[in-house]
Structure formats: C-alpha cells, structure tokens
C-alpha cells in the first residue's frame, strides 16, 4: 500500500471526490493526508477526514497566507491538532519565490507552527521554496531553543544543503511528481542519497502531476508514478518502495499508526 502524505482534497468538488478516492484505491493508494493552508479552511478538514476511510488531515497556515490574519499561537495550533484525525501541523514554512507575505511574518508564522507541533506531539509539514538558508537556520534555532521535534520537508525541490541539514536534525524528506520531470536530475541525485528510513512520497494534488500526466490536474492515484521513479532510483521493486514509505509514514505520523 502507498500513502499520499500530502494532497489538497478539499480543492476537488464533493461530486468529484468519491471518484478521485476510488481511483487512488485502484492504484494501490490506501491512505491520504489532506493539508491545512489557513485556519478557516483547516477547521473543516477533520470532518472531511472523518467522512472518508483512509483519510487524515493536518491543520495550519501556509506562508502565502501568513499575513491574512494574526499569526496563531502555538497553543491554538496544538488545540486544533487534538482531533483524532489531525495527524500533523502545517503546511507552514517560508516561500521567497512568490513572497506573498512579508518575510518577517512568514518567519513568525513558521516558528509558531514549530512550537505548536512540539506541544501537540505531531510532526510539522514544511513548505520551503527559495528560502533554504533561512529554513535551515530557523529549524536549527528552534531545535537549540526547546529541543527536537518531528518534521518533514514536503514536495522537496530544494538544495542538497537543506536536505542534509534536515536529515541531521532527524527530519524526513517527501518527494512529489517533480522527481519525474526531465530537468530534475539534480533532485533525483539527492533522492538517491536520502536514507531509506527517511523517504516519503506525495502528490501535492491537484498540483505538480508527475510524468506521464504532467500538465494535467494531479490526484492521489498518480503518487504511484512518483513512487515508481523513486523505486528505480533506489534499486527497489515498487512493492518494496511502497512498504518502505508506508512504514516511514507510520513512524513519523504516529497518530495514523494508533
């Protein structure tokens, strides 16, 4: 069984969702995690997860939306994560490519999410785009301030330096359809070197459909194509890669293993 650990299923209509989930099951994707990007949107995700077998969720504020409302307190984020179907906090982090929120507000939001994840005892899903040095710095500072915490770098497309910094702090790395793109050779080289016990796969659906669906709307079923490329890179069968990444998912997202 594969797990799509990062998708946005509330971006599909209620009419579409049953078919999307049925196609995922047919492709061997047994579980999915739908992701919070604002507090208002996050509030509706636990009920959505309760309504569908094999669906989990996270709660949080994406860096694009960090300035749209007051930055949530760690305590508020931890309280939202108390629901049984909420298995992580995020996605949060830094995005200097679009810069839709002031960078100081993004950083404040990111730190609040790190501290909220630590309080709640759940992992943090990190969005990192064109901000590798500051992501690594904040992670290190927060680690030194209050101790370790669980996290993953989602939809990894950053530098080897950020990957190595995250791995030193015990982080996991999740690869999306970007791994399959023809120009992603450097990313494939990084994926080849990530320890097997830190690998995850995702779609980030409805974005970033893998080859051979590039340019189309992504959906959880397509994670099988990313997993196939990753399996070939690591010299594993698709079934072995599926078992490995699902076991890693259970170790990181402990509420999903309870």
Domains contained in the chain, CATH given: 2-257 (3.20.20.140)
CB of 217 closer than 8 Å to CB of 7: no
Q: What is the mean pLDDT of each run of 10 residues along the chain (258 residues)?
A: 98 96 97 98 97 96 98 98 98 98 98 98 98 98 95 98 98 98 98 98 98 96 98 98 98 92
CB of 152 closer than 8 Å to CB of 126: yes
CA Rg, the chain, in Å? 17
Is this prediction's pTM over 0.75? yes
d(CA 209, CA 211): 7
In terms of Cβ atoms closer than 10 Å to its own Cβ (0-12, 13-18, 19+), residue 102 is exposed
């Amino acid at each position: 069984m594969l797990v799509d650990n990062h998708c946005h299923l509330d971006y599909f209509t209620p009419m579409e969702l049953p078919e999307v989930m049925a196609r995922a099951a047919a492709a061997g994707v047994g579980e999915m995690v739908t992701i919070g990007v604002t507090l208002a949107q996050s509030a509706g995700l636990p009920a959505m997860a309760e309504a569908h077998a094999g669906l989990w969720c996270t709660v949080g504020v994406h860096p694009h939306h960090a300035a749209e409302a007051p930055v949530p307190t760690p305590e508020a984020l931890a309280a939202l994560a108390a629901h049984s179907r909420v298995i992580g906090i995020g996605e949060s982090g830094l995005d200097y490519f679009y810069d839709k929120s002031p960078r100081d507000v993004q950083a404040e939001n990111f730190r609040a999410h790190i501290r909220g994840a630590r309080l709640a005892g759940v992992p943090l899903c990190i969005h990192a785009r064109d901000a590798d040095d500051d992501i690594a710095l904040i992670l290190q500072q927060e680690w030194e301030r209050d101790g370790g915490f669980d996290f993953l770098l989602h939809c990894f497309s950053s530098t080897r330096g950020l990957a190595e910094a995250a791995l030193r702090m015990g982080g996991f790395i999740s690869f999306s359809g970007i791994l399959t793109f023809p120009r992603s050779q450097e990313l494939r080289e990084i994926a080849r070197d990530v320890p097997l016990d830190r690998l995850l796969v995702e779609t980030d659906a409805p974005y970033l459909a893998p080859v051979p669906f590039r340019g189309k709307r992504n959906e959880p079923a397509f994670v099988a194509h990313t997993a196939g490329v990753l399996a070939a890179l690591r010299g594993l069968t698709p079934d072995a890669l599926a078992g490995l990444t699902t076991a890693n998912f259970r170790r990181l997202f402990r509420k999903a293993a309870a």
